[in-house]
Amino acid sequence: MVAQPGALQRTVHLSFGDASGHAYVMQLTADLAIHSWDLARATGQPDRLDPDAVALLLPWTGANVDRWAGAGLFAPRIEAGPDASDETRLLGLPGRTTGAPPR
């Protein structure tokens, strides 16, 4: 359905309210990217996110993460330092830290 002409401009009806198809695709993409990082970290796998995915998701996630955090979906935001990579900034938005994984 996403590949159909106009799909991203359609309204989708979600459990928390209505959203544009574009917003929903971005939400799903961010969720999958962040949780793929979580799983990689938890299983000792390489955890680098694709730089193109990070570039796509960083501005959208930054604009929307406070709404998710307010709903209790993520840990509080972790502010990255001025020299942090875009990946570190992206992962900090939903409360992930890129330091050494817990053992």
Burial class of 48 by CB neighbour count within 10 A (0 to 12, 13 to 18, 19+): exposed
**In this structure, what token pair is assigned to residue 46?**
């390489």
Find, among 64, 73, 71, the residue nearest to 96 by Cα.
Answer: 73
What are the residue ranges spanned by the domains of the chain?
Answer: 7-92
75 CB neighbour count, 10 Å cutoff: 12
Q: How far is CA 29 from CA 33, 36, 57, 91, in A?
A: 6, 10, 8, 14
Burial class of 83 by CB neighbour count within 10 A (0 to 12, 13 to 18, 19+): exposed
Q: How confident is the model at residue 46 (pLDDT cuts 50, 70, 90)?
A: very high
**pLDDT surpasses 80 at 44:** yes
**pLDDT surpasses 70 at 13:** yes
Mean pLDDT of the chain: 88
**Overall pTM > 0.75:** yes
**pLDDT surpasses 80 at 72:** no
Reduced to 3 states (helix: H, G, I; strand: E, B; else coil), residue 91 is helix
Q: Please state, in angstroms and rounded to a whole number, the distance separating the CA atoms of residues 47 and 45.
A: 6
